[in-house]
Chains A and B, each alone.
Chain A
Amino acid sequence: MADVANGLKVTATGPAQWTRGKVAVALVAVAVVLTVLRYVGLLPDALFRIPEAMIPPAAVWLDAAFNFVKDDLGLLALTRTLTEGLEWLLDITANLMFGKRRWPFLGPIPWTAVAGVAAVIGYYLDGWRMAALGAGTFIWTALIGQWTIAMETMSVLMVAAPLAFFIGLSLGILAWKHAWVNRAIKPILSVLQTLPFFTYLLPAVIFFKVGPTAGAVATTIYAIPPMILMTTLGLQKVSPEVVEAGNMSGCTKWQLLRHVYLPSARTEILVGVNQVIMLCLAMVVLTAFIGMPGLGAKLLAMMGSFKLGRSFEIGVTIVLLAVMLDRMSKAWVVKQPEHFERDTPWWRRHWYLVTGVAVFVFFCIAAQVVPVFAEIGRTQNFSQGKEIDTLIKAFLALDPVQNTTQMIRYVLNVWILNPFRDFLLSIPTPAFILLVTAFALSLGGKGPAIYAAIFFGLVALSGWWDRSVITLYSVISAVTLAILIGVPLGIMASRSEKWSRRALLACDTAQTFPSFIYLIPAIMLFGVTATSVVMSILIFAMVPLTRYTIEGLRTVPPEMTEAADMAGATRMQKLISVQLPLALPTMAVGFNQAIMFAFFMVIVAAFIGTQDLGQELQRTLAGTDLGKNFVLGICVSLMALTFDLTIMKWATHRKKALGLPD
């Protein structure tokens, strides 16, 4: 921690920050003194860790508060009523998608019909390739024998995504209309976005029953924030002249919103839809932890029993679904309406709709005749789970492979990770808080420093200090490793237009994968061990790092690099003294995202068996320990928010100082 703080501080020193730097150095000095005192055994225990007796029983208070709201205020009764409506919706989609025996007793829709409609939608949105992706995804899912579990997942997604869309849109409109709503919503949103997902899950379970309903609720809540943000952004961007034109056309307020504002904000709203869908998919997979059946649950079970072949196949299905949903919704964003000549007949104007319905009906009828079109039986599928399993295990058992993975594991654990963790744990709590504050002060200034001190102080008071430090340690070590690999990778890719494009495409695609997927390669290589945790975080965090490094370097104004060329700089000189300084603010956004991703992943990885907050959080899911669950969740959120505030503050500040656009 001290190293990191010192290393980053160098970039922030300057005449203007001299006093800030001085204060930061003083804070670090005090922290060092405290730590040394501890090492020589002079520091009283009360200053090393806050004594148990002094820790406020926050969990108990929260529990009491929850119980009051839940029972005395009748919230539980309300949510249980809501549950019924939600259950009704979920039953309909469940019946349609995988034939659950509920009203309207129509399903399941034959897989061929779904694949056919996906192909038509894909073709309408972006031509043959999208059609192939749409159909291919569903054909793969059916042939590999995962149709039912995939449709279980989809049936929840189909309820949660529209719900999140409508709630997000309405709240977004409110936040845009009334400044006070905006002010009230903003801090809640930033906490929500850093809150670990386990914290969404438990309240969902308690208030909305175990299973699909709780899964749908958690998924919906998780996906709302970006929709609110995009809606507000889109509405604010509508050109004032268009609004005035609406007013002069005699629009009432409602007409203005419905016919002028919302259609003009179409692009941003659709980008919001894309994000809603992707977040829903990411979350719906994770609801496996509260017993939601579907792809996530299957993957969890397969990984737990180390069935790598099946895990891999499910991973491919999830990735295909993610890529398809992402590409299609993005194609929808850029899709512009086409005009028809006057007096074009109705069926020509709605050609794709007609074709889609025709394809659907055709396959529904065909499925009555050819059973394979309706469903692929257990013995008919092409799953190669066992074979892949043997293959992967044989590969891992090869001497060179085994030696390499074992060496990496040994070096990482014995030389780097464990010593680092023990070092962090040996720092007295007050010293640790001082170090974090110094870091925030030197990078972000006074505001973030105050927040850092308060936030980490609260974490210390939560009584989960050691576990929080271990969480932080996983995050810091994984992100540091990710920086060591991801940044050079980004620098290399940014050298040529072609490679930048490819790397960006790869990163964008990888970012659409639900986080769960990243565990698969880590577990494949390193088994169910602590190294896998760091490795999965590393891969997950590397994506934004590489992405923003490339973006930062590519957006350096060409005049500047040309000026460097004409000044006779070598490639290295140009990189170090021109490109990197100018790219750093953009890269900082990447660092920030990497840290946020890491905080997310470290919790997901908990089920492998870690000693951090995630582990405790996961344990709370088994019971009804709502208070403890919240305390743990808030701890993670507070730590993540500290970094978020500090780094983003630095990035915007720096961008302004360099005169770069936001």
Chain B
Amino acid sequence: MTADTVISCKNAWKIFGADPKGYLGSMPATHSFDDIRADGYIAGVKDVSIDVYRGEMLVIMGLSGSGKSTLVRCFSRLHDITGGAITVEGQDLMSLSEKELIELRRSKMGMVFQSFGLLPHRTVLENVAFPLEMRGQDKHTRRERALEVIKLVDLEGREEYFPRELSGGQQQRVGIARSLAIEPDIWFLDEPFSALDPLIRREMQDEFLRLQGMLGKTIVFITHDFDEALRLADRIAIMKDGAVEQCDTPDQIVLNPATEYVRKFTEVIDKARVVHAGVLAQAGSTGDGPPVDARATVQDLARLLVHDERAVIPVATDGKVIGGMDRAAALDILLETS
């Protein structure tokens, strides 16, 4: 484990059924998801090994029932895993006592839920202050802190409202504020914007990116919306039937899908919007002339790619040339011919 690994998950299993532990012990290792289901068990998480690094945004993506929500609940031990091991900040999650687990959640973890999970009988302020109240902070400090985060999510003036008096987007802002109240290091978001209508969803994504730009937390974000994943992710893990099919950067997933399932998934995606110049740059022949920025997508460079006549275009990060991009290859991506 490298020093900046926050969550490390090794061969984790989560099986639902009558006697999950006994079943996992006796089950042949080659059993597929459907074999397990035929035995009357459901593999929510199936032999998953994945690391989450400090400060990155890992998006777990899959269709409903693919086990993404289950996996993130294993990370926070809302579910106990059946087999394997998960460590958070070096602590083995399953060996924690109830008290230690509560302590971990009170100090390090925050979570946002799909249908908000707000307490209906508490005002916005009381909802946001709830985690602080649970850890026994006095009324004054928790009020101060709650007002601070409420301001952060742009809900000033609504402190005394009850959840039912707010729109869906506003309710989720409360959910976000609540999860941030304790200043968590690790931030779990379980399809936070799926229950919102498309326009609001877009707005909330922008808001979320703004917050992340300010806070720089370690984030595990769940979604079933590929566009959302591409917009937000540093890395994407694609799940199917409880297992992780591929975990990589958006560029790599689009360019080199590891399995047939991932390929099908990425087929409809406009690759030019995903792939960055930096990924296409190859060391060696750097070409001549003015360089392009490594962080620009192929689509950003569309006009240049069509009009420029160089075969290899230099790519630079912060003014330093890191390699050359093959113009024909980039054009192929732009024209979806590859």
- Tell me whether A250 is interfacial, beta carbon within 8 Å: yes
In angstroms, Cα B162 to Cα A266, docked, is 15
Cβ of A266 and Cβ of B121 under 8 Å apart? yes
- Tell me whether A340 is interfacial, beta carbon within 8 Å: yes
Cβ of A248 and Cβ of B76 under 8 Å apart? yes
Cβ of A259 and Cβ of B130 under 8 Å apart? yes
In angstroms, Cα B164 to Cα A625, docked, is 57
Cβ of A337 and Cβ of B162 under 8 Å apart? yes
Are A247 and B78 also in contact (CB < 8 A) when A259-B130, A336-B162 are?
Answer: yes
- Tell me whether A244 is interfacial, beta carbon within 8 Å: yes
**Interface digits, A635-659 against B, CB 8 Å rule (1 contact, 0 not)?**
0000000000000000000000000
Count, chain A residues at interface, CB 8 A: 24
Q: Which of B113, B118, B162, B178 counts the most chain A CB atoms within 10 A?
A: B113
Which of the candidate stretches B104-112, B196-204, B269-277, B313-321 sits at the interface with the other chain?
A: B104-112
Instruction: For residue B172, give the distance in angstroms from its CB to the closest CB of chain A.
Output: 12
Q: Which of B116, B120, B133 counts the most chain A CB atoms within 10 A?
A: B120
- Tell me whether B258 is interfacial, beta carbon within 8 Å: no
Q: Which of A250, A264, A342 counts the most chain B CB atoms within 10 A?
A: A250
Cβ of B102 and Cβ of A245 under 8 Å apart? no
- Tell me whether A74 is interfacial, beta carbon within 8 Å: no
**Interface digits, B29-53 against A, CB 8 Å rule (1 contact, 0 not)?**
0000000000000000000000000
Cβ of B162 and Cβ of A339 under 8 Å apart? yes
Partner of B160, one of A248, A259, A336, A341: A341
Q: Which of B73, B115, B130, B175 counts the most chain A CB atoms within 10 A?
A: B130
| Contact residues of B between 104 and 162, Cβ < 8 Å to A | 105-106, 109-111, 113-123, 130-131, 133-135, 159-162
- Tell me whether A252 is interfacial, beta carbon within 8 Å: yes
- Tell me whether B288 is interfacial, beta carbon within 8 Å: no
- Tell me whether B179 is interfacial, beta carbon within 8 Å: yes
Instruction: For residue B114, give the distance in angstroms from its CB to the closest CB of chain A.
Output: 7
Are A242 and B118 also in contact (CB < 8 A) when A248-B111, A249-B131, A337-B162 are?
Answer: yes
Cβ of A241 and Cβ of B113 under 8 Å apart? yes
Q: Inside 8 A of B122's CB, which chain A residues have their CB?
A: 263
Partner of B130, one of A241, A249, A341, A342: A249
Partner of A250, one of B102, B160, B162, B188: B102
For B109, the closest partner residue in chain A by CB is A248
Q: Inside 8 A of A266's CB, which chain B residues have their CB?
A: 120-121
In angstroms, Cα B136 to Cα A406, docked, is 75
In angstroms, Cα B119 to Cα A266, docked, is 11
Are A245 and B117 also in contact (CB < 8 A) when A250-B102, A255-B134, A336-B164 are?
Answer: yes
Q: Inside 8 A of B110's CB, which chain A residues have their CB?
A: 248
Q: Inside 8 A of A264's CB, which chain B residues have their CB?
A: 119-121
Q: Inside 8 A of A342's CB, which chain B residues have their CB?
A: 159-160
Cβ of A249 and Cβ of B134 under 8 Å apart? yes
Q: Inside 8 A of B131's CB, which chain A residues have their CB?
A: 248-250
Q: Inside 8 A of A245's CB, which chain B residues have their CB?
A: 111, 113, 117-119, 175, 178
- Tell me whether A251 is interfacial, beta carbon within 8 Å: yes
For B160, the closest partner residue in chain A by CB is A339
Instruction: For residue B132, give the distance in angstroms from its CB to the closest CB of chain A.
Output: 9
Q: Inside 8 A of A340's CB, which chain B residues have their CB?
A: 160
Cβ of B134 and Cβ of A244 under 8 Å apart? no
Q: Which of A241, A245, A260, A341 counts the most chain B CB atoms within 10 A?
A: A245
Are A242 and B159 also in contact (CB < 8 A) when A247-B78, A252-B102 are?
Answer: no
| Contact residues of A between 230 and 274, Cβ < 8 Å to B | 239, 241-242, 244-252, 255, 259-260, 263-264, 266
In angstroms, Cα B179 to Cα A245, docked, is 9
Partner of A244, one of B106, B111, B130: B111
| Contact residues of B between 39 and 90, Cβ < 8 Å to A | 73, 76, 78
- Tell me whether B4 is interfacial, beta carbon within 8 Å: no
Q: Inside 8 A of B161's CB, which chain A residues have their CB?
A: 339
In angstroms, Cα B179 to Cα A441, docked, is 57
- Tell me whether B165 is interfacial, beta carbon within 8 Å: yes
For B158, the closest partner residue in chain A by CB is A339
| Contact residues of A between 331 and 347, Cβ < 8 Å to B | 336-337, 339-342
Instruction: For residue B196, give the distance in angstroms from its CB to the closest CB of chain A.
Output: 15
Chain A interface helix/strand/loop/mixed:
helix
Q: Inside 8 A of B162's CB, which chain A residues have their CB?
A: 336-337, 339
Cβ of B78 and Cβ of A248 under 8 Å apart? yes
In angstroms, Cα B134 to Cα A263, docked, is 15
Instruction: For residue B259, give the distance in angstroms from its CB to the closest CB of chain A.
Output: 31
Cβ of A244 and Cβ of B164 under 8 Å apart? no
Are A244 and B113 also in contact (CB < 8 A) when A339-B160, A342-B160 are?
Answer: yes
Q: Inside 8 A of A339's CB, which chain B residues have their CB?
A: 123, 160-162, 165
For B77, the closest partner residue in chain A by CB is A247
**Interface digits, B170-189 against A, CB 8 Å rule (1 contact, 0 not)?**
00000100110010000010
For B79, the closest partner residue in chain A by CB is A244
Instruction: For residue B53, give the distance in angstroms from its CB to the closest CB of chain A.
Output: 22
For B108, the closest partner residue in chain A by CB is A250
In angstroms, Cα B182 to Cα A260, docked, is 18
Are A244 and B105 also in contact (CB < 8 A) when A260-B119, A337-B162 are?
Answer: no
Q: Inside 8 A of A341's CB, which chain B residues have their CB?
A: 160
Q: Inside 8 A of B160's CB, which chain A residues have their CB?
A: 339-342
Q: Inside 8 A of B134's CB, which chain A residues have their CB?
A: 249-252, 255, 259
For A260, the closest partner residue in chain B by CB is B119
For A340, the closest partner residue in chain B by CB is B160
| Contact residues of A between 491 and 518, Cβ < 8 Å to B | none
Q: Inside 8 A of B119's CB, which chain A residues have their CB?
A: 242, 245-246, 259-260, 263-264
Instruction: For residue A626, give the distance in angstroms from its CB to the closest CB of chain B.
Output: 46
In angstroms, Cα B78 to Cα A242, docked, is 12
Are A250 and B164 also in contact (CB < 8 A) when A244-B111, A259-B130 are?
Answer: no
Q: Which of B105, B114, B117, B162 counts the most chain A CB atoms within 10 A?
A: B117
Q: Inside 8 A of B105's CB, which chain A residues have their CB?
A: 247-250
Instruction: For residue A463, give the distance in angstroms from its CB to the closest CB of chain B.
Output: 48
Partner of B117, one of A239, A250, A252: A239
Cβ of A248 and Cβ of B102 under 8 Å apart? no
Complex A-B: 23 CB contacts under 8 Å = A241-B114, A241-B115, A242-B117, A242-B118, A244-B111, A244-B113, A245-B117, A247-B105, A248-B76, A248-B110, A248-B179, A250-B102, A250-B134, A250-B135, A251-B134, A259-B130, A259-B134, A263-B120, A266-B121, A336-B164, A339-B160, A340-B160, A342-B159
Q: Besides A260-B119, A337-B162, 6 other CB < 8 A contacts?
A: A247-B78, A248-B179, A259-B133, A337-B121, A339-B161, A340-B160
Per CB-CB distance, the 6 closest pairs between chain A and chain B, nearest first, are: A250-B106, A245-B117, A241-B117, A249-B131, A248-B111, A263-B121
Give the B-binding residues of A (Cβ under 8 A).
239, 241-242, 244-252, 255, 259-260, 263-264, 266, 336-337, 339-342
